[in-house]
Amino acid sequence: MDVCLGYAAMSVHVPNASPSKTMTARQFAGIMDREAALRKLERIAQENLRNCVRLIYHNRAYDITFFRLSSRLIPLVGHELTEGWEYRSHLEAAFRMFGNVATKDGVRLDFHPDHFVVLNTPRKNVLKVSLDTLEHHIWMLKMLGVQPDHRCVLHVGGAYKDKGKAIRQFIKNWELVPEEVKKSLLLENDDKVFTAKETLELCETLGIPMVLDIHHHRCNYEESEEEIDALLPRIIDTWKDSLLSVKMHISSPRSEKDRRSHADYVAPEDMFPFLRKVANYTERLDMMVEAKKKDDALFHLMEWINKEGEKEKIRAINRSSFHIE
């Protein structure tokens, strides 16, 4: 199986290249001229996009073709203070410029929208905000020249004191989700509420590809749950109609006392035995490294492969991808 590694949003190696620079609502409200405040937001967004270009060039130098974009490229989108802001017409050119660079080498770009995007909410206003936010992400992808299908990862949502009822609410709300938004979505198991099995069953019911987070699975599972080995072929089968490779997430716990938080790096023993199981079911996998040290964690994994890989039958393909037997 060929595995392509990616990382999320920021680099620890490229200085002063945050793609998430922002302005607080208080700062915005403190600018007397609202039009001037909006223009400042647009300049911040343009700087974030220029920093994304720098990150893509950095990634290209290390053969990294899988990258999660920050959902905060444009500050205060959807906030009540910016209601009526025609940001799209002002930022379209900047997005297209970034897209021309980012998609040149077939880079896989995606998003993990913020935690307030919840599709199983019983509150109509929360659902509306969630759908508006997802449509905003789809617009950004389109401006980048990226087909939005299967690019936005969400968790199932809250339990609301009754997980069965919460899942039924998700299915009920699904009828209200626009078709284009439906096609853009992926569902991921989380570390506290919905297990891998529960998430998989919902994905199978609604025809949504599932992103397995192995760290979350290790934090959140039920004693009666099937072993992850038995779930793997079903998880991978949810991707059968997608044009994209199967995607999964990997991370290591920060400590024994804080197992849910991400460590700075990914321990090889948390990753490679699991990948051998995945290799039984797919020939290609895109693996998002979710670690505090971002791209440096990816580099550390590749360094381990270059040193230890031969005896483990793992061979580097380039500086961010490898083959595992």
pLDDT by residue (tens digit) across 43-65? 999 999 999 999 999 999 999 99
What pLDDT was estimated at residue 225? 57
The band of 226, judged by pLDDT with boundaries at 50, 70 and 90, is low
- Confidence (pTM): 0.95
Q: What is the identity of the amino acid at 101?
A: V
What pLDDT was estimated at residue 35? 97
The band of 224, judged by pLDDT with boundaries at 50, 70 and 90, is low
Strand duo 314-316 + 152-155: pairing: unpaired
Average pLDDT of 160-182?
Answer: 97
Q: What is the identity of the amino acid at 13?
A: H
Residue with token string 């709300």: 173
Query: Mean of the per-residue pLDDT values for the chain?
Result: 96
Count Cβ atoms within 10 A of the Cβ of residue 42 and give its class: 0-12 exposed, 13-18 middle, 19 or more buried.
middle
What pLDDT was estimated at residue 256? 83
pLDDT by residue (tens digit) across 68-79? 999 999 999 999
What pLDDT was estimated at residue 227? 80
What pLDDT was estimated at residue 159? 95
The encoded tokens of residue 80 equal 């009540």
pLDDT by residue (tens digit) across 88-144? 999 999 999 999 999 888 899 999 999 999 999 999 999 999 999 999 999 999 999
pLDDT by residue (tens digit) across 180-207? 999 999 999 999 999 999 999 999 999 9
Q: Work out the angle between the directed axes of helices 294-308 and 268-278 (0-180°, nearest 10).
A: 70
What pLDDT was estimated at residue 222? 72
Structural domains present in the chain = 8-245 (3.20.20.150)
